[in-house]
Structure 1
Amino acid sequence: MAQIPPQILIEAYSQGVFPMAEDGEIYWFSPEMRGIIPIDERFHIPRGLRKALRKEPYIVRRDTAFRETMEGCGEREETWIDPVIVESYCSLFDLGMAHSFECWDEDGLQGGLYGVRIGKAFFGESMFSRKVDASKIALVHLVEWMREEGMLLLDTQWLTAHLKQFGGIEVPRGVYLGLLEEALADFGK
């Protein structure tokens, strides 16, 4: 199966570039304005989600169903997650550089997210929900994990209304590249 070699993906992310597939082609992006979610005290959990978290509607796991999480993220009418993207990120997962956060209940996998970790940066790729709040709860667990790991940067690529509710902001490419440089300072040492 065709794929983007892991070393090319790692180098691209290290320079603030990420791929997306469209009509069987891979395109590379580095937006002028970059979406990030601060993981410090500016990370915001909406009140309704706080209530849901207290009820613990899901068992949250990390890295137990990476491929299935990617496939769930691709289950939409228009998607940039094609077989090349799936195989490429599964290769990164096999190297320990990609992760999934998954929400499970008695009916199975109900939502989650996946992304790439390089140094102290996490590049969020996509999220999905089959049941209410599943992707949001996965995001909260991602941020908790990032804090435990001493990470610095949660890159969301673009800012959406969905991500704004968590304190997501846009920063110019130059500012983003400075944050990225700081997050990758110890990578490979």
Structure 2
Amino acid sequence: MIQIPWLTADSLDFPPSSSALAEPDGLLAAGGDLSPARLLSAYRRGIFPWFEPGQPILWWTPNPRTVVFPDQLHISHSLRKVLRRGDFTVTSDRAFAEVMQACAAPRAGASGTWIGPAMIDAYTELHQMGYAHSVEVWRDEQLVGGLYGLVLGKVFFGESMFSRADNASKVAFTHLARQLAEWRFAVLDCQVASDHLFTLGAQEIAREDFEQILLDCAHTPSLKGPWSLSATRDW
């Protein structure tokens, strides 16, 4: 039987990341709540919640960590053509709730979603506080793609993205990464690996290296409030 610490409601402390399980990778603790104070405390340590509705809250810190350094974003030739055509309009913080709901919707080949009502409520509250942000991709005024995540200092913690049109999530991610590079963000955290992310320049780094980035860059003042992405780009 897997044994992990149980978090109590009266403390925001987490176990050291070195105690996280290797299998399943990065499982650190269970319990606690999704209050803003606990979530911010977790992210500053490289810890995030990931659980299915009806389960106890599970807290993770995988090793290695998948990240994109914004100035090392990779844009393929085919994606560059999509960006230059201008088929999509890209905004930020215009439809945060709709983006979360779209990310929570059932997907082909998946039996459920980990973005339940409690997660939506928690991150919507962080959005209202200026910590969580969304990027939206529109075609003919229809929301066809997007992503959302959390910002601390010069670190963007990506949570989830969705696509209802070819390349829409990649367009959202690319616009975000370019903007983060302009704002001199240190890293865009992607949490865990996927082929989709590797096509955009994602790489895996050791957990201790990621934690050092957080110590250096996640404790500076955060860029709060509604974001505005640069309207024009040279792709």
Could you say what the CA RMSD is over the residues aligned between the two structures, in angstroms? 1.3
Shift of 1:113: 0.4
Return the alpha-carbon distance in structure 1 between the equivalents of residues 150 and 182 of structure 2: 17
Match of residue 11 from structure 1: 41
1:183 paired to 2:217: yes
Return the alpha-carbon distance in structure 1 between the equivalents of residues 166 and 73 of structure 2: 21
- Contact 2:73/2:174 (CA < 8 Å) preserved in 1? no
Match of residue 134 from structure 1: 168
Residue identity opposite 1:96 in structure 2: G
Q: 1:67 aligns with which of 81, 85, 97?
A: 97
Return the alpha-carbon distance in structure 1 between the equivalents of residues 89 and 156 of structure 2: 22
Moved more, 3-12 or 54-63: 3-12
Residue identity opposite 2:175 in structure 1: H
Residue identity opposite 1:6 in structure 2: P
Q: 2:87 aligns with which of 57, 81, 98?
A: 57
Residue identity opposite 2:63 in structure 1: E
Moved more, 73-82 or 43-52: 73-82
Shift of 1:187: 3.8
Q: TM-score, normalised by structure 1?
A: 0.93
Return the alpha-carbon distance in structure 2 between the equivalents of residues 61 and 96 of structure 1: 16
Shift of 1:4: 1.4
1:39 paired to 2:70: yes
Return the alpha-carbon distance in structure 2 between the equivalents of residues 181 and 165 of structure 1: 28
Larger strand fraction of residues: 1
Structure 2 residues without counterparts, runs of 5 or longer: 1-32, 223-235
Q: TM-score, normalised by structure 2?
A: 0.76
Return the alpha-carbon distance in structure 2 between the equivalents of residues 154 and 7 of structure 1: 22
Return the alpha-carbon distance in structure 1 between the equivalents of residues 77 and 114 of structure 2: 32
Q: Deviations over 1:83-128 (max 9, x none)?
A: 0000000000000100000001115100000000010000000000
Structure 1 residues without counterparts, runs of 5 or longer: none
Larger helix fraction of residues: 1
- Contact 1:6/1:91 (CA < 8 Å) preserved in 2? yes
Return the alpha-carbon distance in structure 2 between the equivalents of residues 183 and 49 of structure 1: 30
Alignment of 1:99-114 (within 5 A): 99-106=133-140, 108-114=142-148
Match of residue 164 from structure 1: 198
1:151 paired to 2:177: no
- Contact 1:113/1:125 (CA < 8 Å) preserved in 2? yes
Shift of 1:23: 3.7
Higher relative contact order (CA 8 A, sep 6+): 1
Question: Number of paired residues?
Answer: 185
- Contact 2:152/2:219 (CA < 8 Å) preserved in 1? no
Return the alpha-carbon distance in structure 1 between the equivalents of residues 201 and 140 of structure 2: 31
Cα gap change, 1:107 to 1:61, in 2 (>3 Å) = closer
